[in-house]
Amino acid sequence: MEIIGLDKYEKRVAKKLRALAKRALACDGWEWMPGMMVQSVAGVPHGRLRDGLIDTYADICMCLPCRLDSLPDLSDPTTLACLHYLVQEQHHRPVLVCLDAEDLVNALEGKR
């Protein structure tokens, strides 16, 4: 087994979560929910969604509109809880156990 450096591992995980976020956005059951964390993209800083705006938590309160190319941050527990809720709503039944973001996106896509 190859031991990889933490930086390389973190980059690999970030790349996987970004790909999962794009898949989630493409699902019919996807919707942005208040409290979701938005990844920083194209000059838009990382922040939490509130009333359709991204609260960047900067020293000066800067709220930016959630853009079409914004991606959810699937490493954020609140965002994962929202994704879990979306899966339950789509399948009209409780989802008791999901191991990670990939399981939730698969369920939202209807693969599980």
* 104 within 8 A of 91, measured Cβ to Cβ: no
pLDDT reading at 10 higher than 50: yes
In this structure, how many other beta carbons lie within 10 angstroms of the beta carbon of residue 70?
22
- Cβ burial of 111 (10 Å; 0-12, 13-18, 19+) is exposed
- Specify the amino acid at residue 81: A
Domain ranges of the chain: 6-108
pLDDT of residue 102: 83
Assigned token pair, 57: 């938590």
Q: pLDDT of 36-93, one tens digit each?
A: 888 866 666 677 777 777 776 655 555 555 666 788 898 888 998 898 889 888 877 7
CA angle 26, 31, 34 (to 5 degrees): 140
pTM of the model: 0.72
